[in-house]
A and B are shown apart, each in its own frame.
Chain A
């Protein structure tokens, strides 16, 4: 499909929640291409536990919006097989924490087939999955695992933070010839039962548009400190930047995709500010924040004055509110880290 300049959010007044924007892209691709179909648990009559398929059943029926047995190895591996035949399945892993059930199909099959086949076989599928905590769902339902998926080669990894990006990234994901892991944060979806913060609900143009992978978005320009983050924490970082306005001029970068990673935008900013704060809801060790600091050291060591990272400490996500709040990186943690590098 010809690459067309994406219409910006300023071209419309129509605001959507992130879930509706994501579904709009899926609907559009399903209308355009009958080889696109959606598989997952509770995606048909329920419309997705996190509204990821709301309304699709009515238009496309059970053949293309398929409820599947609770058999993640079976149906995600099935999506891999259908994709190897050239179809464009979208498979939903209800919570990213459930990857443990089916990681063989994801890691050893979906992600490695292109390489193992010497490029002769591709796997053009999308694996959608809900990530994130903040609502006390405890250790088996609250992970983000951004770093886990980004670490393993062969998967493109997408993490939208707004409705505008959710739609454009979904179009790109479905049209991409490689497996794309599309990680949507529950707290950003705009669910009736889990209020979203200000920010993810944005204007969304009605026409289809792509957002290229590997292009970070500078959400807020600043001269003093670079904050790089993704997902829910884009909004927390922006809130922190606002709180610090007048004291520290903070630049906030939303990575939008982890694989590929837009290192250049990060380095450009770090060369300007000399101070980097990496913020991530995933675990502190061996993850996204460490990677960002490593890339800054590799690419802009001369300009680096100070670094700090804000992430979830290396413990499973606890249940009780005071415990989850302790480990979940908050606005004040970002504020403190920015002050620390200033």
Chain B
């Protein structure tokens, strides 16, 4: 069981992540009303928010340290927050600013914070092989670091994931695959894309340990992840851990969710993990004003990051030509010469 202080930490991360998504939703929709235009408003591009996934982030990351590697998918903010990614610079990146984690080049699906070994990417199951590679590096170097790959239940039919399971099992690598099962792959319910209800059973075919947490509960995830991370850290091989979460804000901002029965959205609302975590705190004797204090601190931190990010400069257009290589060849990339306008003499 997590200690009271661990519970408080997990709660603070969870409410920070929730507040963050709520505030990003507000910021994103600004400039997109009344007609939704994806290319308008202060936050560029697509936005996949993770409200309802917090238990999976805080329950697992509570067991991790900065040197452990995490790869996350296109819905990454909650995991980034739980892993300790710099919130100001992450927010600046999401707003497309020069002081963002990637100088505005990456965006919300491509957040990299090497200080805490966090990365995410926009293509399904893409982070699984790199997590296996990070685990391989840890094993070769004899550290006791572990790697955690987050993916959605929609990703468990992707070759990159299945190949990763095999490779991880074959070499007993210190990696944990965390499947966040939110029941929906954009518009496709789980039952339409796989005949296996319990995704952790995918582990069986690869002689990898498999486990599933059926309730959207941070403490239950903490317990299961403690075993999985411990197993990896102790050199006893990989785990596939599926955890039930809920999607509260559509696949992306602007998703009409017309395919989703209203009852399903209501059910997700009713099964939210945050009130449950709050109850745990109360059961451990944490007073309401302390809980309120944690919430206020979380809100302040989110607000600080957003205010800071919005005050940051836009990148200079010329910066678009930097960073494709670490050792950029001279004169690269090739660009058009300054145009001649004297009737074609060149």
**Interface residues in B126-168 (C-beta closer than 8 Å to A):** 154-155, 157-160
- The docked-state distance in angstroms from the alpha carbon of A70 to that of B190 is 11
Q: Is A46 an interface residue (CB 8 A)?
A: yes
Contacts A140-B110, A140-B121, A140-B122 hold; do A326 and B38 have CB atoms under 8 A apart?
no
- Assess the B96–A136 pair: CB atoms within 8 A: yes
- Assess the A322–B346 pair: CB atoms within 8 A: no
Q: Which residues of B contact A68 (CB under 8 A)?
A: 193
- Assess the B45–A323 pair: CB atoms within 8 A: no
- The docked-state distance in angstroms from the alpha carbon of A91 to that of B59 is 39
Q: Is A219 an interface residue (CB 8 A)?
A: no
Contacts A70-B157, A193-B37, A339-B341 hold; do A314 and B333 have CB atoms under 8 A apart?
yes
- Assess the B254–A314 pair: CB atoms within 8 A: no
Residue among B100, B188, B335 making CB contact with A67, cutoff 8 Å: B188
- The docked-state distance in angstroms from the alpha carbon of A309 to that of B339 is 11
Q: Which residues of B contact A337 (CB under 8 A)?
A: 336, 339
Q: Is A121 an interface residue (CB 8 A)?
A: no
- Assess the A340–B340 pair: CB atoms within 8 A: yes
Interface residues on B, range: 35 or more
Residue of B nearest to A94 (CB): B186
Contacts A97-B123, A193-B38 hold; do A70 and B336 have CB atoms under 8 A apart?
no
- Among the 9-residue stretches B77-85, B101-109, B201-209, B280-288, the one with 4 or more Cβ atoms under 8 Å from chain A is B101-109
Q: Is A172 an interface residue (CB 8 A)?
A: no
- Assess the A138–B346 pair: CB atoms within 8 A: no
Residue among B104, B110, B124, B159 making CB contact with A323, cutoff 8 Å: B104
Residue of B nearest to A193 (CB): B36
- Assess the B321–A138 pair: CB atoms within 8 A: no
- Assess the B160–A138 pair: CB atoms within 8 A: no
- Assess the B341–A323 pair: CB atoms within 8 A: no
- Assess the A137–B46 pair: CB atoms within 8 A: yes
Q: Tell me how many residues of A have a C-beta within 8 Å of chain B.
A: 57
- The docked-state distance in angstroms from the alpha carbon of A284 to that of B321 is 13
- Assess the B44–A319 pair: CB atoms within 8 A: yes
- How far apart are B112's CB and chain A's nearest CB, in angstroms? 12
Q: Which residues of B contact A67 (CB under 8 A)?
A: 187-188, 192-193
Q: Which residues of A contact B316 (CB under 8 A)?
A: 322
Residue of B nearest to A326 (CB): B317
Q: Which residues of A contact B124 (CB under 8 A)?
A: 70, 101
- Assess the B157–A195 pair: CB atoms within 8 A: no
**Interface residues in A284-342 (C-beta closer than 8 Å to B):** 284-285, 305-306, 308-310, 313-316, 318-327, 336-337, 339-342
Q: Which residues of A contact B122 (CB under 8 A)?
A: 138, 140-141
- How far apart are B72's CB and chain A's nearest CB, in angstroms? 14
- Assess the A139–B110 pair: CB atoms within 8 A: yes
- Assess the A325–B154 pair: CB atoms within 8 A: no
- Assess the B339–A46 pair: CB atoms within 8 A: no
Residue of B nearest to A57 (CB): B259
- Assess the A319–B45 pair: CB atoms within 8 A: yes
Residue of B nearest to A134 (CB): B39
- How far apart are A190's CB and chain B's nearest CB, in angstroms? 13
- Assess the B45–A100 pair: CB atoms within 8 A: no
Q: Give 1 or 0 for each of A230-252: 1 = CB within 8 Å of chain B CB.
A: 00000000000000000000000
Q: Give 1 or 0 for each of B298-323: 1 = CB within 8 Å of chain A CB.
A: 00000000000000001111111101
Q: Is B262 an interface residue (CB 8 A)?
A: no
- Assess the A319–B36 pair: CB atoms within 8 A: no
Residue among A71, A137, A315, A318 making CB contact with B104, cutoff 8 Å: A318
**Interface residues in A67-90 (C-beta closer than 8 Å to B):** 67-71, 73-74
Q: Which residues of A contact B38 (CB under 8 A)?
A: 135-136, 193-194
Contacts A70-B155, A101-B158, A340-B339 hold; do A315 and B96 have CB atoms under 8 A apart?
no
- Assess the A42–B186 pair: CB atoms within 8 A: yes
Q: Which residues of A contact B110 (CB under 8 A)?
A: 138-140, 319
Q: Give 1 or 0 for each of A103-142: 1 = CB within 8 Å of chain B CB.
A: 0000000000000000000000000000000111111110
Residue of A nearest to B344 (CB): A306
26 contacts between A and B (CB under 8 A): A41-B186, A67-B187, A67-B192, A67-B193, A68-B193, A69-B158, A74-B157, A101-B124, A136-B39, A136-B107, A138-B106, A138-B110, A139-B105, A139-B106, A284-B333, A285-B333, A306-B346, A308-B336, A314-B333, A319-B45, A320-B104, A322-B314, A322-B316, A323-B96, A323-B104, A327-B320
Beyond A45-B188, A306-B344, 19 extra complex contacts between A and B, CB < 8 Å: A67-B193, A70-B154, A71-B157, A98-B123, A100-B123, A101-B160, A136-B39, A138-B107, A194-B38, A285-B333, A306-B346, A308-B336, A313-B320, A314-B333, A318-B105, A320-B104, A320-B315, A323-B320, A340-B339
